[in-house]
Structure 1
Amino acid sequence: MQMINTDKAPKAIGPYSQAIKYENLIFISGQIAIDPKTQGLIEGDIKKQTERIMENIKAILEEAGLSLNHVIKTTIYLKNINDFPALNEVYGKYFTEHKPARATIEVSNLPKGALVEIEAIAGL
């Protein structure tokens, strides 16, 4: 087992790693729209927050020597399920030909008041 951390993604806001490599899998912790430069939640709507999250996931994967094409599954936690179409609009720009399995769940709240959180599993 190996921890994966990069300065190009936000530091963990609790006792966890950005990602863990276990055998041929990379488990990326749930990402909210934190700017890695300021460590603060970005302001903006669901589209802006989704874009920041996808860039953070991409940076973690790059640190592991992988790309978004290696993502097997994502789980998305939405504060408001009505944001689903706008989320898909941005998410779809990152997963064009390769489309991982996915679950999307509405939740009552997220850390720091985020609108969305995304976790991912990638394979080598």
Structure 2
Amino acid sequence: MKYLCLVYLDKEHWNACRDADCAEYAQQLADSQRMLAAEPLHPVETATTVRVRNGQVALYDGPFAETKEQLAGFYLVDAADLNEAIRIASGIPPAKYGSVEVRPVRQLEV
């Protein structure tokens, strides 16, 4: 099953984890054939939020909600179950400085 591990960091810890550490962990997951995708994100100040209401598109600078921790990146992994996904998430290096939200990915029903 696919799980999305969303990495959240506050501004103070945004660069606390070296890119090389994240790349090394991602490579370990790739070598074990559990990695589907992983990418870091630029800081929240570079974000644009899009809303469509009554057919009208509105753009806003920055994130939709003000929060202490901000989305810093993600790992999309293939895990047998939630317990394995949690084990994978606990190894993501930025988890030492922020948090990692683990969510199962669902298929669209068409």
Q: Which has the larger radius of gyration?
A: 2
TM-score bin (small chain): 0.3 to 0.5
Question: Which structure: greater strand fraction?
Answer: 2
Q: What TM-score do you get using the length of structure 1 for normalisation?
A: 0.32
**Higher RCO (CA < 8 A, seq sep 6+):** 2
Q: What TM-score do you get using the length of structure 2 for normalisation?
A: 0.35
